[in-house]
Amino acid sequence: MTQVSRRIVFSGLGALGVAAALAGCAGSGDDTSEPKVSSGAELATTAEVPVGGGIILTDEKIVITQPTEGDFLAFTAVCTHQGLLVTSVEDGTIHCANHGSSYDAANGDATGGPASGPLASVDITVEDGKILAG
Ligand code: FES
């Protein structure tokens, strides 16, 4: 696996070119620990998160979504099925292609596949176009 300081899987409308450049490893097979980030740490910029889609921070194990314009949410990216990382966000759904689970990008609820429970919310704050942990 290529090591870079900050890996993001872009997903959703309008991000395909960036995704090709920055996606790196899609996260399948990563370890299963829960997200751990320091409060106040910058996770992403608002411009990086497509409306109706989202981004997956594979190092931080956090998925950030923007279900409607200006409404940013974050969840653990650790699938509740077998603990692998979710793989994409599109059309308001967080997908885990490992075994086909899906989650509502607006609240983290499991909506399909073998996942047994929702993705837990992660606290974020949005400040000056930046998405910060905590
Ligand atoms: S680990 Fe996500 S569907 Fe199995």
Report which protein residue has its CA nearest ligand 1's atom 1: 82
Domain ranges of the chain: 8-29+36-133
Residue 46 in contact with residue 126, Cβ under 8 Å?
yes
pLDDT digits (tens, 9 = 90+) for 52-110: 999 999 999 999 999 999 999 999 999 999 999 999 999 999 999 999 999 999 999 99
Cα 115 from Cα 119, distance rounded (Å): 9
Residue 110 alpha carbon to ligand 1 centre in Å: 11
Q: If you ran DSSP here, which 8-state letter would residue 25 be given?
A: -
Which atom of ligand 1 lies nearest, measured to the CA of 86? 2
Which atom of ligand 1 lies nearest, measured to the CA of 84? 1
pTM for the full predicted model:
0.78
Ligand 1: does its nearest atom lie under 6 Å from the Cβ of 81? yes
Strands 8-11 and 88-90: unpaired
Is the pLDDT at 18 greater than 50, yes or no? no
Report the candidate in 97, 43, 96 with the shortest Cα–Cα distance to residue 72.
43
Select from 3.40.190.10, 1.10.10.10, 2.102.10.10, 3.30.565.10 the CATH code of 8-29+36-133: 2.102.10.10
Q: Which of 35-39, 42-46, 97-101, 102-106 has the lowest mean pLDDT?
A: 35-39
- Per residue, the 3-state secondary structure of 90-116, as one string, reads ECCEEEECCCCEEEECCCCCEEECCCC
Residue 109 alpha carbon to ligand 1 centre in Å: 14
Ligand 1: does its nearest atom lie under 6 Å from the Cβ of 6? no
Is the pLDDT at 23 greater than 80, yes or no? no
Q: Which of 8-12, 16-20, 73-77, 114-118 has the lowest mean pLDDT?
A: 16-20
